[in-house]
């Protein structure tokens, strides 16, 4: 059985993934270990010459605000 903290972390990860999908950006997240933080990077995507490409602009995220 998952702890309350593990359940909260899994829900937080799902929420961040949903936001990224709605915004149309790529999201890379660190491993699935339950370390009680969400660390990842949003990568901007643009449509150019008939293809989607990451632009090189990214935004790092950390649940702890660091």
Which tokens belong to 4?
Answer: 């309350």
The band of 5, judged by pLDDT with boundaries at 50, 70 and 90, is confident
The band of 38, judged by pLDDT with boundaries at 50, 70 and 90, is low
**What's the burial of 27, exposed, middle or buried (CB within 10 Å: 0-12/13-18/19+)?**
middle
The band of 18, judged by pLDDT with boundaries at 50, 70 and 90, is very high
**What's the burial of 58, exposed, middle or buried (CB within 10 Å: 0-12/13-18/19+)?**
middle
**What's the total number of domains in the chain?**
1
pTM: 0.71
Give the range of the structural domain holding residue 20, as residue numbers without chain letter.
4-62
Which tokens belong to 43?
Answer: 């990568």
Q: Is the pLDDT of residue 36 over 70?
A: no
């Amino acid at each position: 059985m998952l702890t309350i903290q593990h359940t909260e972390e899994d829900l937080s990860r799902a929420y961040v993934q949903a936001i990224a999908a709605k915004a149309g950006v790529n999201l890379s997240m660190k491993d699935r270990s339950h370390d009680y933080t969400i660390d990842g990077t949003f990568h901007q995507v643009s449509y150019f010459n008939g293809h989607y490409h990451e632009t090189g602009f990214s935004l790092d995220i950390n649940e702890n605000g660091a």
